[in-house]
A and B are shown apart, each in its own frame.
Chain A
Amino acid sequence: EVQLVESGGGLVQPGGSLRLSCAASGFTFSASAMSWVRQAPEKGLEWVSTFSHNGDSTYYADSVKGRFTISRDTSKNTLYLQMSSLRVEDTAVYYCAEGHWELYHWGQGTLVTVSS
């Protein structure tokens, strides 16, 4: 059974940093593309970033480019999202998902609140 468990969310001040983690199990993590999608309170879904299956490429939404970094540790089967220079508008539930195009499996999400 595929499981994705996000962690690392919390309250952070504007301009601060946070690192999200997504622990994966039940599939071949090292051969899978992974993505982050976020959802602001009472809003729709927004694609944030994708890490290609072979690790050669990373992709970012314009709204986070230069501030967020996606990475993975295949020895720990864990996906990361390093977030810096956080803004109030980054407040959202952050989901990790398996896939590059169609997103087959999703975690339960972790809430990031950016507020002073």
Chain B
Amino acid sequence: EIVLTQSPDFQSMTPKEKVTITCRASQSIGTSLHWYQQKPDQSPKLLIKYASQSISGVPSRFSGSGSGTDFTLTINSLEAEDAATYYCHQTTSFPYTFGQGTKLEIK
């Protein structure tokens, strides 16, 4: 099983700051890595697919990068509505796995 480890587990930021969340895979997964945002009491929402591909309707301040074992989700110029938990998800091999999540607080 491929283990995804996100860092940090929790981050508290102020509006307009830039935040970086990392996801490290226990073995190489190419670019089969997707990012989701889950706000409290809501379903997850796809933000980035295949490490860096943007999703229609997602604000351009969200971007992704990486390949192999190290991946990054970057949120430029944070907004209050970005308060959520963010998850990475690998679909290279079964069982598909998620990272443990990164909770982002906006002060």
**Which residues of A, 62-107, contact B by the 8 Å Cβ criterion?**
62, 95, 100-104, 106-107
Cβ–Cβ contact B99 & A106, under 8 A: no
Tell me, in angstroms, the Cα distance from A60 to B94 when the chains sit together.
8
Cβ–Cβ contact B91 & A101, under 8 A: yes
**A interface majority secondary structure:** loop
Chain B residues contacting A95 (CB-CB under 8 Å) are 43-44
Cβ–Cβ contact A45 & B32, under 8 A: no
Q: 1/0 per residue A16-53: CB within 8 Å of B?
A: 00000000000000000000010000001111001000
CB-nearest residue of chain A to B99: A44
Q: 1/0 per residue B78-107: CB within 8 Å of A?
A: 000000010101010011111111000000
Residues of A at the B interface (CB closer than 8 Å) are 37, 44-47, 50, 59-62, 95, 100-104, 106-109
A-B contact pairs, 8 of them (CB 8 A): A47-B96, A62-B1, A101-B34, A102-B49, A102-B91, A103-B44, A104-B55, A106-B44
